[in-house]
Amino acid sequence: MRMQGRTVLVTGGTRGTGRAIAQELITRGNRVNFLEEAIPGPRLQAEIATNFTAPVLLTALLLPVLAARSQAAIVNVTSALALTPKASAPVYCASKAALASLTRSLRYQVAGTSVQVLEVMPPLVNTEMAGDRRARKVEPEDVARALVRGLEQNRPEVAVGQARWLKRIHRWAPILAARILRDT
């Protein structure tokens, strides 16, 4: 790649590491666009708010209340797409992956307390969001029953239906898992 005369977008380029990268690229004769006040579309903001921001804020607000109980749990619903993304839903996949990471971090933070942190990872669920998609779906009630079993067994993660297989494939052959979902 020729390192001059290019136009480069550096996300996070307004400070820290991103800024240093942007400055280095400018020094080498490239043009960098700093978008400090870029506001994504409402749909993008809503998806991130629903899938990630809301769980973060709710957990931060209610964790002290939960920690005061003799038995408490935080349940985060991620997705099989948190393991490996698919082309048609990049923001959804990324926000669910962020929630999965948050869930693991919370689990480390509350270790030794009365709070159990559980991630439930369903495949495509027969809900309004799934719409008319003809792919194989599980029923919401099946996800709920699997979650309750996971809580009863003190399991940190519950993969439901086809998500169990994807999780296994991803553990042993992540490239294969990516190929399975990439273009779906």
- Residues 78 and 121 sit within 8 Å (Cβ to Cβ): yes
Phi, psi values for residue 6, rounded to 5°? -100, 155
How many CA within 13 A on the CB side of residue 61?
6
Which among 92, 103, 138, 161 is annotated as catalytic?
92
Spell out the residues 6+ positions from residue 149 whose beta carbon is closer than 8 angstroms to its own.
158
Cα 66 from Cα 58, distance rounded (Å): 11
108 as an active site residue: the answer is: no
Nearest residue to 128 via CA among 146, 119, 140: 140
Q: E-assigned strands of the chain?
A: 7-8, 31-32, 72-77, 115-121, 157-159
Active site residues: 92
